[in-house]
A and B are shown apart, each in its own frame.
Chain A
Amino acid sequence: MTLRMPWFLRRILGIVPTLFLTWSIVFGVLQLIPGDPVMLALGGTPVSDEILDNERRRLGLDQPIYVQYLTFLKKMAVGDLGNGYSSKQPVSEMIAARVRPSLELALGGLLVGILLGVALGIAAGLRPHGWVDTATMSTALVGVSLPSFWIGMLLIYVFGLQLEWVPILGDGIDALILPSITIGLFLAGGLARLIRSALIETMTQDYIRTAHSKGLSTLRIVAKHAMRNAIIPPITLLGLQFAVLIGGAVVTERVFARAGLGSMLIDAVLTKDIPLVQGLVVYTTTAYIVINLLLELLYGIVDPRIRSRRA
Chain B
Amino acid sequence: MTATAIMPPRRLIARTLGTPGALAGSIILVVLVFGAIFAPLISPYDPNATRVCPRLAAPSLDYVFGCDLFGRDIFSRILHGSRLSLAVGLLTVAISLIAGTLIGMVIAFLGGRVDRIGVRLLDVMLGFPAIVLAILIVAVLGVGAFNAALAVGISGIPRIARVVRSATLTLVGREFVDSARAVGASQARILRRHLLPNLMPIVIVLGSLDLGTAILSTATLSFLGLGAQPPQAEWGAMLSAGREFMRYAPWTMIFPGLALFLAVMSVNLVGDRLSHILDPRASKHD
Interface, chain A (partner B; CB < 8 A): 18, 21-22, 25-26, 29-30, 32-33, 141-142, 144-147, 149-150, 153-154, 156-157, 161, 244, 247, 250-251, 254-255, 265-266, 268-270, 272, 274, 277, 281, 284-285, 288-289, 292
Some 17 contacts from A to B, beta carbons below 8 A apart, are A21-B124, A30-B139, A145-B265, A145-B268, A149-B223, A150-B239, A150-B257, A154-B257, A161-B247, A250-B132, A251-B220, A268-B139, A270-B143, A270-B226, A281-B136, A285-B129, A288-B128
Bound complex: CA A32 to CA B128 (Å) = 18
Q: A18 and B243: CB pair below 8 A?
A: no
Q: Interface SS of chain A: helix, strand, loop or mixed?
A: helix
- Which residues in A have their C-beta under 8 angstroms from that of B254? 154
Q: A25 and B125: CB pair below 8 A?
A: yes
Bound complex: CA A149 to CA B225 (Å) = 13
- Supposing A25-B124, A147-B257, A250-B224 touch, asked if A269 and B212 sit within 8 A by C-beta, the answer is no
Contact of B261 (CB < 8 Å), options: A22, A150, A255: A150
Interface range on chain B (Cβ under 8 Å from partner) = 35 or more
- Which residues in A have their C-beta under 8 angstroms from that of B261? 145-147, 150
Q: How far is the CB of B245 from chain A (nearest CB, A)?
A: 11
Q: A269 and B219: CB pair below 8 A?
A: no
Q: A266 and B140: CB pair below 8 A?
A: no
- Which residues in A have their C-beta under 8 angstroms from that of B226? 266, 269-270
Chain B, residue nearest A269 (CB)? B139
Return the 4 tightest CB-CB contacts between A and B, nearest first. Answer: A150-B257, A145-B265, A145-B264, A244-B129
Q: A21 and B135: CB pair below 8 A?
A: no
Q: How far is the CB of A22 from chain B (nearest CB, A)?
A: 5
Known: A29-B140, A145-B265. 9 other contacts (CB 8 A): A26-B136, A141-B285, A144-B212, A145-B264, A147-B219, A147-B257, A161-B247, A244-B129, A281-B128
Bound complex: CA A180 to CA B43 (Å) = 38
Q: B246 and A285: CB pair below 8 A?
A: no
Contact of A161 (CB < 8 Å), options: B127, B132, B239, B246: B246
- Which residues in B have their C-beta under 8 angstroms from that of A277? 136, 139
Bound complex: CA A147 to CA B138 (Å) = 20
Chain B, residue nearest A197 (CB)? B286
- Which residues in A have their C-beta under 8 angstroms from that of B247? 161
Bound complex: CA A244 to CA B130 (Å) = 9
Bound complex: CA A233 to CA B124 (Å) = 21
Q: B135 and A157: CB pair below 8 A?
A: no
Chain A, residue nearest B254 (CB)? A154
- Most A Cβ at <10 Å: residue of B135, B242, B250: B135
Q: A32 and B268: CB pair below 8 A?
A: no
- Supposing A149-B239, A289-B127 touch, asked if A21 and B136 sit within 8 A by C-beta, the answer is no
Q: A153 and B253: CB pair below 8 A?
A: yes
Contact of B135 (CB < 8 Å), options: A149, A244, A266: A266
- Which residues in B have their C-beta under 8 angstroms from that of A21? 120-121, 124
